[in-house]
């Protein structure tokens, strides 16, 4: 397997965590770890070891592996992104979390997930307008990212803009992989709730 295939494994892992569930994510992590060990790519070994810990909910351990992944590859935006997510789980200071998201964006400016997750976090913090900007940046990089449209809809709802929320939910359904019927049903239920509340 070429080094570039680690990028595919990471994308597959991101999708599995978002939509498919833990067992699929665990399989991808094991495959990534095997390949990284067989090729002796230390940064990837540390990255996939961190993913194992994240799946188990061992965020402090994951942070240690992510720190080592960054030492081996300082341009690993995903490692900064995932460290920020672990810090959120541990209740870290928001400045510390945002610093990792920003560093991830700085070192890997074409990595859509870090923009998405920063937008998600800003939305959680109540900074909805800025969250929308990050979701829009995400969609410029990955126009068919259903989860981002869903989060964009949530941000619009937080701002009281039901029409834009419905449009974003509908776009999420339009670009969602057809195999995720349960997610489609959930989004349709959200649209119904918003529509009924108008």
Same fold, 1-109 and 126-198: yes
Q: What is the pLDDT of residues 36-48, one digit of tens each?
A: 888 888 899 999 9
| Mean per-residue pLDDT of the chain | 90
Tokens 């460290």: give the residue: 83
Q: Is 163 helix (H, G, I), strand (E, B) or coil?
A: helix
Q: What is the pLDDT of residues 90-124, one digit of tens each?
A: 999 999 999 999 999 999 999 999 999 999 999 99
Q: Helices H, strands E: what count in the chain?
A: 11, 0
The verdict on domain 1-109 having CATH code 1.10.1200.10 is: no
Tokens 């799946």: give the residue: 55
Parse the chain into domains and list their residue ranges.
Answer: 1-109, 126-198
Query: Residue 71, CB half-sphere, CA atoms under 13 Å: how many?
Result: 9
Q: What is the pLDDT of residues 13-66, one digit of tens each?
A: 877 887 767 788 888 888 888 988 888 888 999 999 999 999 899 999 999 999
Number of neighbouring beta carbons within 10 Å of residue 183: 19
CB 182 within 8 A of CB 174: no
Q: What is the DSSP string of the chain?
A: --THHHHHHHHHHHHIIIII-HHHHHHHHHHHHHHHHHHT-HHHHHHHHHHHHHHHT-HHHHHHHHHHHHHH-TT-HHHHHHHHHHHHHTT--HHHHHHHHHHHHHH-TT-HHHHHHHHHHHHHHT-HHHHHHHHHHHHHH-TT-HHHHHHHHHHHHHTT-HHHHHHHHHHHHHHS-TT-HHHHHHHHHHHHHHHHT-
Q: Quote the pLDDT of residue 172.
A: 94
pLDDT over 80 (residue 198)? no
Q: Quote the pLDDT of residue 1.
A: 35
**pTM, whole model, 2 decimals?**
0.90
Residue closest to 148 by CA, chosen among 112, 184, 192, 108: 112
Q: Quote the pLDDT of residue 19.
A: 73
The verdict on domain 126-198 having CATH code 3.40.50.10680 is: no
Q: Quote the pLDDT of residue 3.
A: 52
């Amino acid at each position: 397997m070429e080094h570039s295939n680690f990028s595919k494994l990471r994308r597959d892992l991101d999708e599995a965590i978002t939509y498919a569930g833990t067992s699929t994510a665990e399989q991808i992590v094991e495959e990534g770890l095997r390949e990284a060990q067989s090729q002796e790519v230390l940064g990837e070994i540390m990255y996939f070891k961190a993913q194992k810990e994240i799946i188990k909910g061992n965020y402090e351990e994951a942070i240690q592996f992510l720190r080592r992944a960054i030492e081996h590859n300082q341009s690993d935006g995903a490692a900064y992104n995932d460290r920020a997510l672990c810090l959120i789980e541990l209740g870290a200071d928001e400045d510390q979390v945002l610093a990792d998201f920003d560093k991830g964006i700085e070192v890997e400016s074409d990595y859509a997930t870090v923009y998405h997750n920063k937008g998600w976090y800003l939305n959680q913090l109540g900074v909805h307008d800025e969250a929308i900007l990050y979701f829009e940046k995400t969609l410029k990089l990955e126009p068919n990212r259903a989860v981002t449209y869903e989060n964009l809809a949530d941000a619009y709802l937080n701002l009281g803009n039901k029409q834009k929320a419905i449009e974003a939910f509908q776009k999420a359904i339009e670009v969602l992989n057809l195999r995720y019927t349960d997610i489609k049903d959930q989004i349709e239920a959200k649209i119904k709730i918003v529509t009924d509340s108008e």
